[in-house]
Amino acid sequence: AGQRNRQQEITEISRSLKALAKEINAPVVALSQLSRRPEMREDKRPQLADLRESGSIEQDADLVLLIHRPGFYKPAEEEDQSGSPTKVIIAKQRNGPTGEVDLVFLKPIMRFESYVGREDDVEPEEVDETEEIDL
């Protein structure tokens, strides 16, 4: 019963945030935890269904961005301090395309940067320049 009440609470919050955005005609940014499901899969890339507590977040959101950093799953001593390849997954965009944006995460300064133009050995997996999506 507690889980169901939590789902109802998240649903109500999600719908209220959507209504607020419409009322004030401005974007509202809400953060959501992911469930533990990605950790249990071989492919740890997050998916829309991994949003925690309620499907209403997925339903109500106009835009859902998920961050995937494979280096997160490596022991700290193995992680490259010069930059960790990262993907921002545009999992949902009501009025636009979905896709991925390749970034580099600089852990020592807690910063994301574009990998374009970097001269070190951090390379994206595969890029189609014609479908690059700017955030």
How many domains in the chain? Answer: 2
Strand partners, 92: 64
Compare 122 and 85 and report the one with higher pLDDT. 85
Instruction: Answer yes or no: do 8 and 40 share one domain.
Output: yes
pTM of the model: 0.74
* Structure tokens belonging to residue 47: 């998916």
pLDDT, the chain, mean: 83
- Residue 121, in any domain of the structure: no
- Residue 109, in any domain of the structure: yes
The residue segments making up the domain with residue 42 are 1-61
Instruction: Answer yes or no: do 4 and 53 share one domain.
Output: yes
* Structure tokens belonging to residue 10: 């998240």
Burial class (CB in 10 A: 0-12, 13-18, 19+), 135: exposed
Instruction: Answer yes or no: do 54 and 69 share one domain.
Output: no
- Assign 126 a pLDDT band (cuts: 50, 70, 90): very low
